Amino acid sequence: MATVSKRKADSQVPPEESDLLVIRPLGAGQEVGRSCVILEFKGKRIMMDCGIHPGLSGMDALPFVDLIEADEVDLLLVSHFHLDHCGALPWFLQKTTFKGRCFMTHATKAIYRWLLADYIKVSNIGTEQMLYSEADLEASMEKIETINFHEEKEVSGVRFWCYNAGHVLGAAMFMIEIAGVKVLYTGDFSRQEDRHLMAAEIPGVHPDVLIIESTYGTHIHEKREEREARFTGLVHDIPIYYASSLAKKCMAVYQTYVNAMNERIRRQIAISNPFVFKHISNLKSIDHFEDVGPCVVMASPGMMQSGLSRELFESWCTDPKNGVIIAGYCVEGTLAKHILSEPEEITTMTGQKLQLKMSVDYISFSAHTDYQQTSEFIRAMKPPHLILVHGEQNEMGRLKSAIIREYEDDVETNIEVHNPRNTQSVELYFRGEKTAKVMGSLAVDPPQQGHRLSGVLVKRNFSYHLLAPSDLSKYTDMVRSTVSQRLSLHYTGTLQLLHFFLNQLSGDVEAIDIQGKKALKVFRKILVIQGVDMVTLEWNASPVNDMYADAVVTVILKADSAGISTKVIPPIMKLDKMHFTECLMEMLADMFGDEAVSKIVKGDRLFVTVDGKSVSINLRNQEVKCEEDEVLQQMVTTAVTKLYNSLTPVKV
Amino acid sequence: MICFRCVECVNKSRHNSENFELFTLDDVDAAFDKIIQLKYNQSISLKGKGQGISVTPLAAGHMIGGTIWRIIKDGEEDIVYAVDFNHKKERHLNGCVLESVTRPSLLITDAYNAAYNQARRRQRDEQLMTNILQTLRNSGNVLIAVDTAGRVLELAHMLDQLWRNQDSGLMAYSLALLNNVSYNVVEFAKSQVEWMSDKIMRTFEGARNNPFQFKHLQLCHSLPELNRVPDPKVVLASSPDLECGFSRELFIQWCTNPRNSIILTNRTSPGTLGRQLIQNPNQCTVTILVKRRVRLEGAELEDYMRKEKEKELEAAKLKAEKGGDMEDSDSSEDSDIEMEVDIVGKAKHDLMMKTEGKSRGGGFFKQAKKSYPMFPVREEKIKWDDYGEIIRPEDFMILDINPTEDENKENREENDETLQDITEVPTKCVAVSQTLDINASVQFIDFEGRSDAESIKKIISMCKPRRLILVRGSPTAIDSLASYCQNSGLVQGKVFIPKLYEWVDATTESHIYQVKLKDSLVSSLNFARAKEAELAWVDGEIVMVEDEYLIDLEKEELKKEKEEVEEEETGSRELIPTLQPLPTSLVCGHPSMFINELKLSDFKQVLLRNGIQAEFSGGVLYCNSVVAIRKNEAGRINLEGCLCEDYYKVRDLLYEQYAII
């Protein structure tokens, strides 16, 4: 926190009191890939996703995390297991100073492990400068905590929970609440129920800020039935393989986390596991594949950067009888994106040129929201602020203007749409309302104008409670305790001598007996007990009492060293009334002139006349009376009290 | 889901031996549609009548999905309902999180285990292991009576792991799980990994090994199936009380053989056979009622048939009156009808009828009754040969008394899971009292997965409820726990011990209202840290202000707040009490407070870290041999020493341990 406050030294408010909420995409700002959004509010820093760019490699693929201090991130939330959302996570967890906590759903964590292991293997061939190794990945598993859908967690005052996003198994939308301000981060989501996942849920609470993906911008998807028909029209009645060891590994995860899927699957599990396939078999590797006769091979990676899908593509692309179906969104710079533009030839991984003769189809099975769903989702949420991420610049721009157009005639709703570029921050202000709950005996009387409240304010994670001190242990787990002190110090003199000295310090020194020992009570708080060649001080600790004790200690030390013979103990000094009267008269004469002060003291009263107004001063209790002028009375009172206090020893 | 299976199984096993009519499986299904599933720590706010109340389930251990309920009113008054919790981590479950709930205004818990202390887990595990090994080596069988879907997972997982262990020497023997839904239970367990312990989750994430993908545990659904499992074997069978289900049947079969061993894992309710055996471990004989569902035979069967037929006709009549389509007659009745047809013989009609050939259900009868003009007659030509009339041998065969037998077999083959399902055969329940000699060893090893007396007390002392309601448990157990809680000052408020059907008035006067804090007030405060909270002393004055910001921008918010505020002061509308700082001249000071409870042992570490020698001697902490710190019974800390630099150094460190306001 120290560094934070240093940096913001110019603004007077400490970060945890500031009303400024900053959202800053470090990746996926006007681009697709390397999702990473930073949220800062009230001194808390949350990172949402930490992906890599599939079209880039090495350090270039990372989001711009060098713009933040990793150790200042309190919380890292990962929406789902795709590389562009969690690809940089092992690096961030293991190779930076990050020391916050990291959360994802159970299924995401299980698949993350295998997906990234596969990624490491695949990219080992291509790039030298690996971001992390298998060992780093393994170690990162320890640091990742899991969260269930709808389960509420709290980390240093930040409350968060997640909803089903319907994008892939375990994909989550995170709702984050800091000091009453709610931010919803959708990650990738789909509002269309598919064969195994439910549609993204619509949260029951309205967020103040909605960070939403915009991959497909203003596109409208074709219906699932049509899409599936088109797919099965291209392929039918031939053996089907899923050619990825990864898929095989992850199948166990799919067979286990059926609870994160839709109703249909959950019902089916009661009969048999729907992820135990009858017609689809696993292909261990390309070596096990006999390329005879027609077949369908589902191979990864989806954008054909490398790996099995790339190998198969290269061996099949020259034959017009073959076909490739791109089944998901393709990022700029990948082969899949390239062949969608129907080039004449392509470059293989070895640099060779090959003619592209096979048919190329694009049937999207990637569960991303389209404009229809996005618009419906925004309508349900009505967030005052909308932040677009995870979309290619033009798509995002189109989506932004479409949404603005949709609400331009709507007076009721006011949605501000932001589409920040990478590293560009969106600054929003949320005026924090601080309300405290008054509880227990303090709250017995209902609040009224002018009612005074004194008590302990307990602040816990942005919530305030006001309690009477006696109720503290009733409503909180905190306990009041007492600390008593006994301090012994060397003193050889008599108690009478000490009494004399202490009397100069304090107006009320009492001589008492404690269990046969002579003792003095000073300031009514501090006991001075005489022992052999020493005295012991006893008191209950508090800042005021400690101060008194220190004063008493000083007096005792002085008395010890003063070396006044014990025989001539001066009598205990009483307040010299005459001295006080003299001083008072002198002072008043200085204030109002000699003639104003009467020279005679009547009884205990002294009179002063100023501008014909008479002021009477009671010398015994320092009461000042002046019927005619209140200002004058106040003035004299102050003067008298100050004088009295400076002349007499301290009284409690 | 597990609960579903459990109910289903209990229902089924009951059905196998007696008539059970409280509810049917359909009722179970219907009830399930009404249940809302929550995750742990998922808060749900009630609507309508329950406005302002939110409910949160917390993990309770004990069983998969075991829950402690936390009910919160207006964010402040919280009621915690915690029965059957287990704070200890187990193989398949995490411990409960009750100790993290601090200062609930009301805790409802049970005293079931309040007078019971259990042996350490390791000891119990060893006991089980020894028992199993001895019995198996002696070529006897082990029956472990467990529940259907809860605790069985712990035992199954533990035993399967034991079997996997090469050194255990158990590989040679068999291990089986026997109950009506064992397949489903295990399948569900596999898909509920996210509800289980961290360890299980880690193994799954790391190795993709589903811990409930058993290697050695064989799943059985019936006794014949179990008989195929070679002896000697260990069988986990339900139910735990030996009152019904396979465990009872196996008990009857096995208890006479001295080689066998019967292990009870649960102290079931008094009066059950299981409890009886636990309480009288030396009992030699036991007289039990053997209940069995048997097929109807002879006169009873005929009687049943006749009644069924009448019912059938009645139903058919009703249907005919309704004029509905006859296609969907109740399938369970099918068998009877077809059987009927078989007995009558296959007569062909010479008149063409519309529904000819349709042998389904009531339709046949209805039509036969209404529209046939005459009995179908078929003239058979009698053929003769040299030896006389040619006969059909079938005509002289003795009719099978129980013609449904075949069908039932088919049924079985079709539906392997419901082997025990004999609902479609006319049956009745009989009970025979039988005296059995118990020669097998009977042992109780606690695998209930509940916290015991000592832990319960500790947990209550950690969460310090303001009031306590105790339910369930023997009167002595309840009383001892109640007096413990009251005498030790754990519970400051009342401890209620309601009897059955007794109402308890546990309402408390809770005063609460909200005030807004002026920024000038907040910025003037000096906060001191204590644990996770920050504390400050406030001297303030309430002013009632109309807040424009709220009115303009957050109408909804305002409404909410208004509701809360208006409970206190009806009539004033947009007035929000706001706390503003008192002018310093009016602040009259307050006694300072030390907040926190110091543990001397913790403080010792603090001292050592700051280069001060600290040592305990007779409960007193001596620092650098010049300053002594002691703590008396009332929790008061006493700092003693002579005037020296160390005294003030220690005192400063001591003060740092407190939030002083």
Q: Where are the alpha helices (DSSP H) in B256-330?
A: 273-279, 298-322
What's the pLDDT at A383? Answer: 92
* Contact by Cβ (8 Å): B37, B262: no
Give chain A's end-to-end CA distance (angstroms, integer).
42
The 3-state secondary structure of B479-534 reads HHHHHHHHHCCCCCCCEECCCCCCCCCCCCCCCEEEEEECHHHHHHCCCEEECCEE
- Pairing of the two strands A209-213 and A385-389: parallel
A530: β partners: A535
* Residue of chain A minimizing CA distance to B212: A256
B572 DSSP assignment: -
**Regions of chain B short of the pLDDT cut 50:** 1-6, 9, 11, 324-348, 355-369, 401-423, 548-573
CA–CA–CA angle B349, B353, B354 (5° rounding): 145
A contact residues 11-40, partner B, Cβ 8 Å cutoff: 17
Q: Provide φ and ψ at A617, rounded to 5°.
A: -120, 125
What is the nearest CA distance from A227 to chain B, expressed in angstroms?
31
pTM of the predicted structure, to 2 decimals = 0.74
Give residue A378's pLDDT.
93
Report the C-alpha gap between A307 and A313 in whole angstroms.
Answer: 10
Looking at this protein, which amino acid is placed at residue A596? Answer: A
Best B4, B8, B25, B191 member to test A by mutation, with max A CBs in 10 Å, is B191
Residues B643 and B656: beta-carbon distance below 8 Å: no
**Cα distance between residue B69 and residue B79, in whole Å:** 8
**Cross-chain Cβ contact B40/A461 below 8 Å:** no
In A, which residues are within 8 Å of B4 by CB distance? Answer: none
Question: Quick one: pLDDT at residue A108?
Answer: 93
What is the residue whose two structure tokens read 């961290």? B198
- A-chain CB neighbours of B466 within 8 Å are 474
- Cα A141 from Cα B182, distance rounded (Å): 33
Evaluate whether A65 touches A108 at the Cβ level (below 8 Å): no
Q: Which residues of chain A neighbour B522 with C-beta distances below 8 Å?
A: 17, 434
Nearest to A437 among B202, B512, B537 (CB): B512
Provide the pLDDT for residue A63.
92
A375 CB burial (10 A radius; 0-12, 13-18, 19+): middle
Q: Measure B583 CA to nearest chain A CA, in Å.
A: 11
Output the pLDDT for position A153. Answer: 92
Contacts of A106 in chain B (CB under 8 A): 193-194, 201
Residues A476 and A459: their CA atoms lie apart, in Å, by 11
Distance CA A624, CA A631 (A): 12
- Which stretches does DSSP call E strand in A156-247? 158-164, 172-178, 181-185, 209-213, 240-243
Residue B247 per-residue DSSP state: H
Distance, in Å, from the CA atom of A53 to the CA atom of A122, rounded to the nearest integer, reads 15
Burial class of residue B658, CB neighbours in 10 A (0-12, 13-18, 19+): buried
How far is A55 from B72, CA to CA, in rounded Å? 50
DSSP string, A38-64: EEEETTEEEEE-----TTS-GGGGS-S
Q: How far is B304 from chain A (nearest CA, A)?
A: 34
Rg (CA), chain A: 40
For A457, the closest of B103, B535, B577 (CB atoms) is B535
Length of chain A, please?
652
Q: Is A121 on the interface with B (CB under 8 A)?
A: no
Q: CA angle A349-A355-A356, nearest 5°? A: 90
Do A449 and B544 contact (CB within 8 A), yes or no?
yes
Q: Is A198 on the interface with B (CB under 8 A)?
A: no
The residue among A336, A338, A326 whose CA lies nearest residue A298 is A326
Per-residue DSSP letter, A277? -
Cα separation, A211 vs A36, in Å, equals: 12
Query: How many A/B residue pairs have CB atoms within 8 Å?
Result: 250
How near does any CA of chain B get to the CA of A499, in Å? 20
pLDDT of res. A128: 61
Q: How many CB atoms lie within 10 A of CB A402?
A: 15
Paired tokens of A92:
């961030």
**Tell me, what's the pLDDT at A213?**
92
- Residue A22 structure tokens: 């900053």
Sheet with A44-48, side-by-side order of all strands: A144-147, A101-105, A75-77, A44-48, A36-41, A20-27, A426-429
Query: Does the ipTM surpass 0.85?
Result: no
pLDDT reported for residue B375: 66
DSSP secondary structure letters along B338-400: HHHHHHH--PPPSS--TTTT---HHHHHHHHHHH-SS------PPPEETTEE---GGGGSPPP
B167 by DSSP, 3-state: which?
helix
Q: Which residue positions in chain A have pLDDT lower than 70?
A: 1-16, 124-128, 236-237, 432, 563-576, 650-652
Which amino acids of A are annotated catalytic?
A: 368
Over its C-alpha atoms, chain B yields an Rg (Å, rounded) of 36
CA angle B82, B88, B89 (to 5 degrees): 115
Q: Do B513 and A438 touch (CB under 8 A)?
A: yes
Handedness of CA B291, B295, B299, B304 (dihedral sign): positive
Strand A36-41 versus strand B142-145 pairing type? unpaired
* pLDDT for the residue numbered B336: 43
Q: Is A137 exposed, middle or buried (0-12, 13-18, 19+ CB in 10 A)?
A: buried
What is the distance of C-alpha B283 from the center of its chain?
Answer: 32
For residue B420, count other CB atoms closer than 10 A to its CB. Answer: 18
Query: Could A481 and B597 be called an inter-chain contact, meaning their C-beta atoms sit closer than 8 Å?
Result: yes
Residues near A254 by beta carbon (within 8 Å), at least 6 away in sequence: A169, A196, A275
pLDDT, residue B159, reads 92
CA–CA distances in Å: residue A282 to residues A121, A239, A291, A378, B48: 19, 11, 15, 41, 53
**Window 506-565 of B, Cβ < 8 Å to A:** 510-517, 519, 522-523, 525, 527, 530-544, 549-550, 561
CB-nearest to A435 from B517, B527, B597 is B517
Are A124 and A116 in contact by the 8 Å Cβ rule? The answer is no
- Which residue does chain B place closest to A275, by CA atoms? B191
- Sign for the pseudo-dihedral over CA of B193, B194, B196, B201: positive
**pLDDT the model gives residue A326:** 87
Contact A190, A373 (CB under 8 A): yes
